[in-house]
Each structure stands twice: as structure tokens, then as C-alpha cells.
Amino acid sequence: VLEMPEPYTPPRGKDMYRCFVLPTGLDADRFVSAVDVSPGNRAIVHHVILYLDTTGQAEKLDAADPGPGYTCYGGPGIEASFGAGGAFSLTDLLSIGNMLGGYTPGQRPEHLPAGVGLFLDRRARVVMQVHYYSIRNSAQDQTSVGLYFSRQPVQRRLLWAPVVPLDSRGRLSMTIPAGAENHTVTAQLSLPPLGLFDASVIAIYPHMHLLGRRIEVEARRPRQPSPERMILIDDWDFNWQGPYTYREPFKLPGGSTVRLSCTYNNSATNPFNPSPEPKTITWGEGTEDEMCLAFLGITFDREDLLPITSNSAAAGPR
């Protein structure tokens, strides 16, 4: 069990992102089968993302910021984190194995299937980014993380691959007009058309904020006449979300395309709309911003031939 070294009290009245560096104390590399984040104060903890850092950058940022942890809106501040400058590339896809997990309201920990694990480098520090939403009240928090190590040999490393809306320059981008009752945002991720990139999806993690009403992910495989649904949530509830593990791996041959569709109600008819008077909403980490995101928990059939790295940090749902 890893725990914040001391309690932290976020300021009241705004979204706060704070990163805490947690040493693992490991003397050997391990594979993780499940992660269980236990918020110290559920009234103010909006979500938690766990990054890994083997560069030492997070500790330097922590030392330079007074008080427990350091401010980290937009990510943990590690240069190798995916999507530097908001862009995303195939290189990022092959270096995102260092997202360890996280917590969102309603999420329950689940063990990965036998033979699949999340790689944890013995040199890594777990960088726990906590999003505090203390608009109404504030109090101390001391969140902890339970790590369950794989007990059986691991043949495949799990990577979390994000499907997100990007503009023509590869930057995160989405807009939901004020007053729109049924506005849809789409995104897609394509694997290179080579057998080298044959993959299996073990789990899927859809994510939106308070304006979300419906989210669907479909896959179109090479030479397949119609797409196949991977997940559909047609009555989105922000307070009940998390990853879903397939009974059998969902196969994605090289050349497959995954398409994400998110539908929002940004009107006064949405009782969960955080704005009393609807306004145009864009991509952002704040509770009153929005996201259209699906993480695919994938393994590559020939990962030994791919340049999968383990020395960077990766992003998750915010």
C-alpha cells in the first residue's frame, strides 16, 4: 500500500490538481494485476490518475513546490508524458505503458486476466495526480493506493491506448455549442496495416464529464463490411464509471480503426449541467469542461518486435 506522506488540504473554491510522489520500495521489476485507489476524502476527490516516473523529474518538481506535493494542472510535468503540446502520435502509443491506473466515481478494482500485467519498473516513482473539486467545502485528504502483484507468469504487457478527438495538427480539440441538446463529437484511432500491430483489447474505459449522455465505441477490421460494437453506454452517469473487462479479448488486426462517438446535452434541460446559463464548452480537465475519451487496454501479439518503452509517463482520464 502506497500513501501520501502527509495529509493535504486543497484551497476552497476551484479545481485543484496536485501531484504526490510515492516511492514503491521495490528491489526488482514487477507486474501489477490490479490497482485499488482509496480516496482519503470522497467529498473533494474528483478523480485520481497514477503515472510512473523513472527520470527523477517528479521529485525535483515536488522539492521546488512548498507544501505536500506540487501543482500539476495539465499533467505531471514530466517531459516524456504522452501528447506533449497536446499532440498524439504512434510513437506515443508505443510508449504509454507507464500509466498504472486511477480512480473515478463508481470505479471498482478488477484483476487483469491471467498472463497479462502492467509493468512496474523497480526504479519508478508512482506520481499520483489528484483532482480536487472543493467548490462547496474543503478538508484534509490522504489518499492511498493498493497494488496487487501478478502471481502467475506474464506473457503480455497491458498498454492503455487513448482514443481522443484531434484537430488537423494532432492536438486535442472539441467544442460543444451552448444550448445544444444532442451534440455529437467523434474520434478515431487506426493501427498501421501490418501484422506487426495485431492487437487484443483486454479492457475498455470510456470517459466523459457532466454533459455526457451517450458514448459508443466501434471497431472496423480490415476486409470487414461493417463495424462491430465494442461498448455502448446510452445513459451516461458521471458518478458510475470505470473500466470494463471483456470476457474474451477483442481482436484488432493491424489496419483496424476504432471509432469513438460521444453525445452531449449542453442545454438547460440537462439537470447535471454545471452552468446555470449554458455556454460553449471545450476540451479541458476541469469538472465544468468536457472530454470525449476512451482508453483501450491492449496487448500486442508481437510486442517483442515493437519499440515499447518503460521510461516515460502517460496520461489518463481527467
Q: Is the pLDDT of residue 87 over 70?
A: no
Q: For 17-73, write each residue's pLDDT tens digit.
A: 899 999 999 999 999 999 999 999 988 898 898 988 888 899 999 999 988 999 987
State the average pLDDT for the chain.
Answer: 85
What is the percentage of the chain residues whose pLDDT exceeds 70?
88
Looking at residue 44, its pLDDT comes to 87
DSSP the chain: -EE-SS-B-PPTTSEEEEEEEEE---SS-EEEEEEEEE-S-TTTEEEEEEEEESSSHHHHHHHHSSSSSEE-TTS---TTSSSGGGB--HHHHTT-TTEEEEE-TT----PPPTTEEEEE-TT-EEEEEEEEE-SS----B--EEEEEE--S---EE-EEEEE--B-TTSBB--EE-TT-SSEEEEEEEE--SSGGG-EEEEEEEEE--TTEEEEEEEEE-TT-SS-EEEEEESS--TTS---EEEEEEEEE-TT-EEEEEEEE--STT-TT-S-SS---EEB-SSTTSB--EEEEEEEETTGGGS---SSS------
**Residue 267 above 90 pLDDT?**
yes
pLDDT at 91 exceeding the cut of 50: no
Which of the residue ranges 233-242, 258-267, 296-305 has the most confident prediction, judged by mean pLDDT? 258-267
**What pLDDT is attached to residue 43?**
86
Q: Is pLDDT above 60 for 89?
A: no
Please report the pLDDT score of residue 306 as a whole number: 65
Q: Calculate mean pLDDT across residues 112-122.
A: 90
Q: Which residue, chain included where needed, has cell 496536485?
A: 18
Distance CA 71, CA 249 (A): 38
pLDDT of residue 291: 92
- Lowest average pLDDT, out of 21-30, 98-107, 293-302, goes to 98-107
Q: Contact, 78 vs 127, CB < 8 A?
A: yes
- For the stretch 136-185, pLDDT in tens is 677 899 999 999 999 989 988 898 888 999 988 888 899 999 999 999 99
Q: What pLDDT was estimated at residue 88?
A: 43
According to the model, what pLDDT value does residue 83 have?
A: 41
Question: 195, exposed or middle or buried, with CB in 10 Å at 0-12, 13-18, 19+?
Answer: exposed
Residue 317 or 73, more confident: 73
Asked if the model's pLDDT at residue 311 lies above 50, the reply is: no
Rounded Cα distance between 31 and 119, Å, is 5
Domains contained in the chain, CATH given: 2-156 (2.60.120.310), 159-305 (2.60.120.230)
Per-residue pLDDT of 204-237, as tens digits, reads 999 999 999 999 999 999 988 899 999 999 999 9
Confidence check: pLDDT of 314 > 60: no
Residue 312: which residues within 8 A CB-CB, separation 6 or more?
78, 80, 81, 82, 95, 96, 98
